[in-house]
Amino acid sequence: MTSGRVRRIAGYVVIAVILIFMGRALYANWQALQGYEWHFNYPLLVVAILLAFVTLCLYAWMWRFIVQRLGAHISYPQAFRIWFLSNLGRYIPGKVWQFVGWFYMGEQAGIGRVPILTSITVNLGLQTLTGLGVGVFTLVVMLGGELWNRFWPLLLLIPLGLLIAVQPGIMETVLNWALKKLGREPVVLGLRSADMLLFTLGHIGCWVIYGIAFYVFVCSLHPVPLSGMPLLAATYAAAWVIGFLSLLTPGGLGIREGVIAYLLGFWLPVPVAIVISLLSRVWVTAGELIGTAIAWRIGPPRVSAVVPPAPTETPT
């Protein structure tokens, strides 16, 4: 049995175990859950889905911004198409299909392999680091207690990671190390510290908007005071990063929901936290599907046909 197949089976087992434990918790608290007064607010749910879609559009814009800083040229509609369609690969076991789609469609749009690889590295690296910073820092500071005891060393690493991230020389060294492992020639990024700082601030802004979207989503199911917005925003950011970094499950499936349920359980009833965590996947998937439908309609870039010049007559 190949290692890829073993990892795939292990991923399914992890998802099943998480869902079983969450199901047991729901079953044990079923009577309390039935007696709970849910407050479904459909207009708020629609707003939450649209905010999630807007956030994803901003991530596509951030990726295009990085590509252009690297010297490549791509229109926003094509960046939108590549970003949304390639993201569908996250839900296929293997962890590579998203990047395969990114490379294939990026080359269709006329972007070279090096700018694609560099933009993916910078984009996902900063998205992960800023998400970790926004999520873990806010949760540990606001909740304290058990989370502080477990994660305070991470608070020291987050500023260090962000400081390294805004140094293009370090990013270039890491990228060239990876290219050397793949048997590729080294590259020069040509990015400035100001560029990296701008990318970092942009990703922090995206996480803030994503957090607001998650807060509105939760409020569509369960009333939460405005003071709870930072905790909810941090919860989703931390859960997204942990799910993204999980090597076993596609799209962080099961992992993200488990982390959301665990963190919400610190200040919401456990069965309510589990229901919200499970429905959060439906919420964000709805936002992704809106973008995917639009991206599908955009279509690949058109290649203009080259008309050969008419033959010239030679005098006889």
Residue 19 lies in a domain: no
In a domain, 259, yes or no: yes
Q: According to the model, what pLDDT value does residue 72 have? A: 85
DSSP string, the chain: --HHHHHHHHHHHHHHHHHHHHHHHHHHTHHHHHHS-----HHHHHHHHHHHHHHHHHHHHHHHHHHHHTT----HHHHHHHHHHHHGGGGSTTS-HHHHHHHHHHHHTT--HHHHHHHHHHHHHHHHHHHHHHHHHHHHHHH-HHHHHHHHHHHHHHHHHHHHHT-HHHHHHHHHHHHHHTTPPP------HHHHHHHHHHHHHHHHHHHHHHHHHHHTTS---GGGHHHHHHHHHHHHHHHHH-SSSGGGTTHHHHHHHHHHTTTS-HHHHHHHHHHHHHHHHHHHHHHHHHHHHH-SPPPPPPPPPPPPPPP-
Position 220 in a domain:
yes
Residue 84 covered by a domain: yes
The pTM is what?
0.80
Q: Per the domain annotation, does 158 fall within a domain? A: yes
Number of domains in the chain: 1
pLDDT score at 213 = 96
Averaged pLDDT for residues 79-83: 93
Residue 258 falls inside a structural domain: yes
Residue 137 lies in a domain: yes
Position 239 in a domain: yes
pLDDT at residue 180, rounded to an integer: 76
As a whole number, the mean pLDDT across the chain is 78
Instruction: Report the pLDDT value the prediction gives residue 23, as an integer from 0 to 100.
Output: 61
Range of 82-96, 106-120, 141-155, 171-185 with top mean pLDDT:
106-120
Q: Tell me the residue range of the domain where 117 lies.
A: 41-298
Q: How confident is the model over 39-62, as pLDDT tens digits?
A: 788 899 999 999 999 999 999 999
- Residue 29: pLDDT band by 50, 70, 90 thresholds? low
